[in-house]
Amino acid sequence: MSWLETRLVARLTAVALLAALTAGCFQPMYAERGPDGGPGLRDKLSSVEFPPLNVSNGSREARLGVAIRNDLMFKAYGGGTGAPPTYKLVMRLNTSRLSVIVDSQTARPEVENYGIDATYELREIVTDKVVMRGSATARVTNDTPGQEQRFARERGLRDAEDRAAKIISEAISTRLASYFYAGI
């Protein structure tokens, strides 16, 4: 064996040994047991209740609230139902629309920004004490494919709302997971 091959074998051996030593240090976030041996993150998330938003029925905010709530429940419960709740997540939404590019001939918007600002609080159900609070924002753009196509414009806006709602639910879900996993 040449000195180059010996050196390569020594390096590979060192890497394999280092990987074997650190393999026990990592634990998946969604493991069956927590890092302290207690219940896993999925069990903790299943104890969160997601009540409906307090908005008027039939409004755009109501549709967004249902979409965000359904996505959060699916991420927390995994398609089933949750355990008896010990926490509840209270959310409030504010939406905004901003015309970025306006056609100078028709004064109709060609490109719009759509935004959702969500504030939320995680409360213990028994004491109604706030244990975590936060906010999440989402800004997305949508194009109007033709100035005279009003239904296409509405569909583009609805698609922007859905994309923004997905971003909000991802942010809240990640924040809940970090709270229950690490306590921060």
Per the CB < 8 A criterion, the answer to whether 110 and 143 are in contact is yes
33, part of any domain: no
What are the pLDDT digits (tens) for 84-112?
889 999 999 999 887 777 776 776 767 78
Tokens encoding 34 = 């927590």
32, part of any domain: no
Number of structural domains the chain divides into: 1
| Residues whose CB is less than 8 angstroms from the CB of residue 169 and which lie 6 or more positions away in sequence, other chains included | 67, 68, 71, 72, 75
25, part of any domain: no
175, part of any domain: yes
How high is the pLDDT of residue 43?
A: 81
Which CATH number belongs to the domain containing residue 148 in this structure? 3.30.160.150
143, part of any domain: yes
How high is the pLDDT of residue 28?
A: 60
How high is the pLDDT of residue 133?
A: 93
> Which has the closest alpha carbon to 95: 149, 165, 183?
165
Domain around 103 = 39-182
How high is the pLDDT of residue 31?
A: 60
Backbone φ and ψ for 38, nearest 5 degrees, come out as -80, -160
Tokens 């922007």: give the residue.
160
| Strand order across the beta sheet in which 48-49 lies | 48-49, 87-102, 109-124, 130-143
Per the CB < 8 A criterion, the answer to whether 160 and 140 are in contact is yes
Packing angle, helices 60-77 and 150-182, rounded to 10: 40
Residues of the chain whose pLDDT is less than 70? 1, 20-21, 23-38, 80, 82, 104, 107, 109, 145-148, 184
